[in-house]
C-alpha cells in the first residue's frame, strides 16, 4: 500500500539569478528567511537557480558556472533540504522556455515597454543622447516573460520578492489572466509577498550591502579575510571611552542581524559606555563567525564535490518536470498544438476532454465496484480498492475531486498509486479537478 503526500496548501517559488557570489546581505535578506519558510507546514516551496536570467546580464560562461555552483552550495549549506523542497536549475526544465513562448504570444509589447529594467536602460540611453535601444538586448526586453513562465509553470500562489520585483509579479498575473481568458482557466494567478520584516543589511560603507556598490562581505569568506573585511567597516572617529551612537552604525545593524535580543542589548550598552571600535569589530567578527562557521564547512565540502551538487540539481529537475511535463502537455493542447490524428477523430471539444485526467468507474467479476484515476495520456495514476456499492465509489471520487490531494492522507487504505505513477503526477491531476 502506497501512501500519498497530501497536497500542500500554498506553493511558494523563488528564483536567484546566478551572476554573483552570495554575501551576508543575501543571507540575511533572502537565504535565511527562505530556508526557515521552507520548513513551515502546509507550504510547498520551489527554489531555483535562474541561470537563463543570468545570461541577460552576463556573457562570461565561467562566471555563470561558478556562480551557479556557489549559490547552490550556499543554499544547501544554509540548510535547504532538497528532499523537502523542489530545488532545481531553470535551464534543466525545457518546459520553461516553451511556456515562455506561449506567454510571449499573449503579452502586449506595450506592457514590456513599461517594464522598469528595460525602461531604465532606454531612459539612460536617451539622457546620454544615444539611440534608445543602444546595447539593449531582446533578452532584457523579454525578462518579465521568462520570469512569468518560471512562476506560472508551477501554479505558484506566492512569490516572496523585494519591492523591485513587484511589477514582474503583476505582469505574470496579467499574462495568466489573458491566457485563461483565451484558453480556459489553466494558470494560477500569483501574488507577490513582500517581506517587510526582512532586514536590509548595510554594507562596509553604510549603504545597502550590494554587489553594485562593491561594499559586500562574502558569506563564506574564510576567517582571516572575514576579520579583515569587518575591520574595514566604516565607523566615526570617536575614541575608545567616548560614548557611541547605535543609530546609523552599520556595525551595530549587522551585529543585530546575527545576535539574539539580549546580545544586541549588551552591545547597545557597550556603545553607551564607550567600547572601542576595535573591540566592537572583534565582537561582531566572532558573532558572525560563530553563525557562519558550521555552514562554511558544509559549503566548502560541497564546493569540493560538484558532482554531488549536480546530482542534487538533476534530482530536483526530475521532481520539477514531473509537474511541468504533464502541465505543458495540457497547455499545448489548450492552445491548439495538438496531435492531428486525435483531433481528426474526436473534434475540438472531445479532443480537449480526452487530454484531461479522468476518473473511470467500473465493476469487476468479484461483484465489487472500483475506480481508477487516469492521466491525460491514459496512464493509471490511482487505483481504488473494491467498494460494496457504486455510491461509495462515487463518493470517494467526489471527495478526491473536491479536496484534491489533501483528501489522500485519509484515503490511504482505499486507493493506491498506479504502477510507475509519480506522486507529483497524482497531485497535478487532482489539482485539475479542484481548480475547475
Ligand atoms: N528576477 C529575480 C531577481 O533578479 C530572479 C527571478 C527569476 C525570480 N525568476 C523568478 C524571482 C521567479 C522570483 C520568481 O531577483
Q: What residues contact 344, with CB distance under 8 A and at least 6 apart? A: none
| pLDDT tens digits, one per residue of 141-150 | 999 999 999 9
Ligand 1: residue whose CA is nearest its atom 6: 15
From 14, 15, 148, the mutation candidate for ligand 1 (largest count of ligand atoms within 8 A of CB) is 15
CA of 300 to the centre of ligand 1 (A): 26
Q: Reply yes or no on whether the pLDDT at 100 is more than 60.
A: yes
Determine the Cα–Cα distance for residues 321 and 11; give it in Å rounded to an integer.
16
Q: Reply yes or no on whether the pLDDT at 337 is more than 90.
A: yes
pTM of the model: 0.76
Higher pLDDT, 399 or 95: 95
| pLDDT tens digits, one per residue of 35-68 | 988 998 889 999 999 999 999 999 999 999 999 9
Per-residue pLDDT, 343:
61
What class does CATH assign to 10-197+305-335? alpha beta
Per-residue pLDDT, 347:
42
Q: What angle do the packed helices 138-153 and 306-335 form, to 10 degrees?
A: 90
Higher pLDDT, 426 or 325: 325
Average pLDDT score over residue span 99-109: 97
User: Which atom of ligand 1 is nearest the CA belonging to 160?
Assistant: 13
Q: Which three cell numbers stand for residue 55?
A: 545570461
Task: Please give the CATH topology (third level) of the domain spanning 352-435.
Answer: Double Stranded RNA Binding Domain (3.30.160)
| pLDDT tens digits, one per residue of 275-290 | 999 999 999 999 999 9
Ligand 1: residue whose CA is nearest its atom 7: 15
pLDDT band at 356 (very low <50, low <70, confident <90, very high): confident
Distance between first and last Cα of the chain: 29
Which range has the worst mean pLDDT, 205-219, 350-364, 388-402?
350-364
Per-residue pLDDT, 2:
52
Average pLDDT score over residue span 104-115: 96
Q: Reply yes or no on whether the pLDDT at 353 is more than 70.
A: no
Q: Reply yes or no on whether the pLDDT at 125 is more than 90.
A: yes
Instruction: Return the exposure string of 110-133: e unless at least 16 CB atoms fall within 10 Å of the residue's CB, then b.
Output: eebeebebbeebbeebeeeeeeee
* pLDDT > 90 in the chain, percent: 73
Determine the Cα–Cα distance for residues 30 and 164; give it in Å rounded to an integer.
14
Choose the CATH number for 220-299 among 1.10.3090.10, 1.10.240.10, 1.10.3720.10, 1.10.10.10: 1.10.240.10
Displacement of CA 177 from its chain's centroid (Å): 21
User: Which atom of ligand 1 is nearest the CA belonging to 146?
Assistant: 9
Determine the Cα–Cα distance for residues 114 and 167; give it in Å rounded to an integer.
10
Q: Which three cell numbers stand for residue 278?
A: 576595535
Q: Which residue has the cell 572601542?
A: 276
Q: What residues contact 216, with CB distance under 8 A and at least 6 apart? A: 23, 24, 25, 203, 204, 209, 210
Higher pLDDT, 207 or 6: 207
From 88, 165, 169, the mutation candidate for ligand 1 (largest count of ligand atoms within 8 A of CB) is 165
User: Pocket around ligand 1: residues whose beta carbon is below 6 Å from it?
Assistant: 13-15, 17, 50, 53, 147, 150-151, 159, 161, 165
User: Which atom of ligand 1 is nearest the CA belonging to 17?
Assistant: 5
CA of 149 to the centre of ligand 1 (A): 11
Per-residue pLDDT, 348:
46
User: Residue ranges of the domains in the chain?
Assistant: 10-197+305-335, 220-299, 352-435
| pLDDT tens digits, one per residue of 295-319 | 999 999 999 999 999 999 999 999 9
Per-residue pLDDT, 330:
97
Give one DSSP letter per residue of 231-271, joined into a string: HTS----PPTTS----TT-HHHHHHHHHS-HHHHHHHHHHH
Average pLDDT score over residue span 214-234: 95
Average pLDDT score over residue span 157-165: 88
pLDDT band at 137 (very low <50, low <70, confident <90, very high): very high
Which range has the worst mean pLDDT, 318-322, 347-351, 391-395, 432-436?
347-351
Per-residue pLDDT, 7:
56
Task: Output the average pLDDT for the chain.
Answer: 91
Amino acid at each position: 500500500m502506497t501512501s500519498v503526500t497530501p497536497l500542500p496548501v500554498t506553493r511558494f517559488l523563488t528564483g536567484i539569478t546566478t551572476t554573483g557570489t552570495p554575501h551576508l546581505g543575501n543571507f540575511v535578506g533572502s537565504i535565511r528567511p527562505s530556508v526557515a519558510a521552507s520548513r513551515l507546514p502546509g507550504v510547498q516551496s520551489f527554489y531555483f537557480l535562474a541561470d537563463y536570467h543570468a545570461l541577460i546580464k552576463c556573457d562570461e560562461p565561467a562566471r555563470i558556472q561558478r556562480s551557479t555552483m556557489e549559490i547552490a552550495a550556499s543554499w544547501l549549506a544554509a540548510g535547504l533540504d532538497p528532499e523537502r523542497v523542489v530545488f532545481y536549475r531553470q535551464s534543466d526544465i525545457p518546459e520553461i522556455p516553451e511556456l515562455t513562448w506561449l506567454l510571449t504570444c499573449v503579452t502586449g509589447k506595450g506592457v514590456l515597454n513599461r517594464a522598469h529594467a528595460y525602461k531604465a536602460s532606454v531612459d539612460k540611453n536617451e539622457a546620454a543622447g544615444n539611440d534608445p535601444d543602444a546595447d539593449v538586448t531582446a533578452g532584457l526586453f523579454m525578462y518579465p516573460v521568462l520570469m512569468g513562465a518560471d512562476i506560472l509553470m508551477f501554479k505558484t500562489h506566492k512569490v516572496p520578492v523585494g519591492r523591485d520585483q513587484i511589477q514582474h509579479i503583476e505582469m505574470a498575473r496579467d499574462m495568466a489572466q489573458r491566457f485563461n481568458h483565451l484558453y480556459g482557466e489553466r494558470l494560477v494567478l500569483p501574488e507577490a509577498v513582500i517581506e517587510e520584516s526582512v532586514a536590509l543589511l548595510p554594507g562596509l560603507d553604510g549603504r545597502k550591502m550590494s554587489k553594485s556598490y562593491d561594499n559586500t562581505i562574502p558569506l563564506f569568506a574564510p576567517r582571516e579575510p572575514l576579520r579583515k573585511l569587518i575591520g574595514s567597516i566604516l565607523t566615526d572617529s570617536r575614541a575608545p571611552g567616548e560614548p557611541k551612537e547605535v543609530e546609523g552604525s552599520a556595525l551595530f545593524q549587522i551585529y543585530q542581524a546575527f545576535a539574539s535580543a539580549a546580545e544586541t542589548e549588551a552591545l547597545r550598552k557597550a556603545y553607551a559606555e564607550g567600547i572601542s571600535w576595535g573591540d566592537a569589530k572583534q565582537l561582531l567578527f566572532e558573532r558572525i563567525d560563530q553563525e557562519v562557521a558550521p555552514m562554511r564547512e558544509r559549503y566548502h565540502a560541497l564546493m569540493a564535490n560538484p558532482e554531488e551538487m549536480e546530482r542534487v540539481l538533476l534530482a530536483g529537475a526530475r521532481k520539477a518536470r514531473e509537474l511541468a511535463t504533464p502541465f505543458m502537455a495540457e497547455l499545448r493542447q489548450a492552445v491548439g498544438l495538438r496531435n492531428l490524428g486525435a483531433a481528426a477523430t474526436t473534434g475540438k471539444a472531445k479532443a480537449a476532454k480526452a487530454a484531461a485526467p479522468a476518473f473511470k468507474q467500473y465493476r469487476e467479476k468479484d461483484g465489487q465496484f472500483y475506480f481508477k484515476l487516469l492521466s491525460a495520456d491514459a496512464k493509471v495514476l490511482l487505483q481504488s480498492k473494491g467498494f460494496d456499492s457504486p455510491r461509495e465509489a462515487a463518493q470517494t471520487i467526489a471527495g478526491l475531486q473536491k479536496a484534491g490531494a489533501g483528501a489522500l492522507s485519509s484515503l490511504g487504505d482505499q486507493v493506491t498509486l498506479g504502477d510507475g505513477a509519480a506522486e507529483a503526477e497524482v497531485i497535478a491531476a487532482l489539482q485539475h479537478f479542484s481548480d475547475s
